[in-house]
C-alpha cells in the first residue's frame, strides 16, 4: 500500500535550522546493503520546496534521532507522484547511499540539478519513507530536509 503525503504535512517532512547540518558525517553502507524493506506501507513525501543540496536528518517519534538508517538516492522518481502501480515502477539506479550516524544525519553533496527519490529505510517492522526531491543548486532552499520514520502496522 502506498500513502502519499503532501509537502505541507510537516509531521513527516519538515525543515531544520541551517547550522545543524554543517558537520554531516554519514557512513558508507556495506557493499550489499540495499533498501531494508520492512513495514507494510510505503510513505511518500513530496516537499513543496526545491533544495540546493540533499542533506537532512532522520528521526522517529518525538524527534529521536535515528542511527543506522539507510539513506539512498535514486533516479527516475516520477512514479512516486503519478498513478504508476508499485509493481510497474521503472528500473531505477541507486546513485548514492549512506548510513546515518548517532546524529541521524545524511548528506549527498554535489548532486546535479534534477529530480530524485530519497529513500530512507531502517529495519524490519519500519515503513520505508520515499521522498520526491528536486535539486536546484541555484534557486533551491538551503534548509535541510527532516524525514520522520514510522513503525509499520
CA 115 → CA 62, 64, 100, 133, distances in Å? 29, 28, 22, 6
Range of the domain at 115: 2-149
Q: CB within 8 A of 26, min separation 6: which ones? A: 71, 98, 99, 100, 101, 105, 106, 107
Question: Where does the pLDDT of residue 9 fall: very low under 50, low under 70, confident under 90, or very high at 90 and above?
Answer: very low
7 has a pLDDT exceeding 50: no
Return mean pLDDT, the chain: 83
Q: What is the distance between the alpha carbons of residues 132 and 82, in angstroms, rounded to a whole number? A: 11
CA 54 to chain centre: 9
Indicate the pTM of the whole model: 0.82
Q: What is the distance between the alpha carbons of residues 126 and 40, in angstroms, rounded to a whole number? A: 8
Q: What is the pLDDT of residue 87?
A: 85
Q: What is the pLDDT of residue 16?
A: 34
Beta strand 42-46 with 13-15: parallel, antiparallel or unpaired? unpaired
- Percentage above 90 pLDDT, the chain: 52
Question: Where does the pLDDT of residue 40 fall: very low under 50, low under 70, confident under 90, or very high at 90 and above?
Answer: confident
Q: What is the pLDDT of residue 23?
A: 67
List the one residue out of 139, 126, 152, 135 whose CA is nearest residue 55: 135
Question: pLDDT, tens digit, for every residue of 71-120?
Answer: 999 999 999 998 888 888 899 999 999 999 899 999 998 899 999 999 99
List the one residue out of 72, 60, 59 whose CA is nearest residue 33: 72
Cell numbers representing residue 19 in the block: 547550522
Question: Where does the pLDDT of residue 17 fall: very low under 50, low under 70, confident under 90, or very high at 90 and above?
Answer: very low
CATH code at position 84: 2.60.40.10
Cell numbers representing residue 111 in the block: 548532486
Q: How many domains does the chain have?
A: 1
Amino acid at each position: 500500500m502506498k500513502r502519499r503525503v503532501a509537502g505541507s504535512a510537516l509531521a513527516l517532512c519538515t525543515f531544520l535550522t541551517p547550522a545543524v547540518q554543517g558537520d554531516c558525517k554519514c557512513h558508507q553502507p556495506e557493499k550489499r546493503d540495499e533498501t531494508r524493506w520492512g513495514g507494510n506501507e510505503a510513505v511518500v513525501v513530496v516537499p513543496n520546496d526545491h533544495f540546493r543540496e540533499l542533506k537532512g536528518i532522520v528521526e522517529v517519534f518525538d524527534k529521536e534521532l535515528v542511527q543506522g538508517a539507510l539513506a539512498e538516492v535514486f533516479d527516475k522518481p516520477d512514479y512516486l507522484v503519478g498513478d504508476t502501480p508499485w509493481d510497474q515502477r521503472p528500473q531505477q539506479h541507486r546513485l548514492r547511499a549512506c548510513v546515518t550516524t548517532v546524529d541521524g544525519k545524511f548528506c549527498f553533496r554535489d548532486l546535479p540539478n534534477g529530480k530524485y527519490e530519497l529513500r530512507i529505510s531502517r529495519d524490519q517492522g519500519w515503513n520505508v519513507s520515499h521522498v520526491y526531491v528536486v535539486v536546484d543548486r541555484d534557486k533551491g532552499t538551503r534548509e535541510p530536509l527532516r524525514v520522520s520514520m514510522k513503525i509499520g502496522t
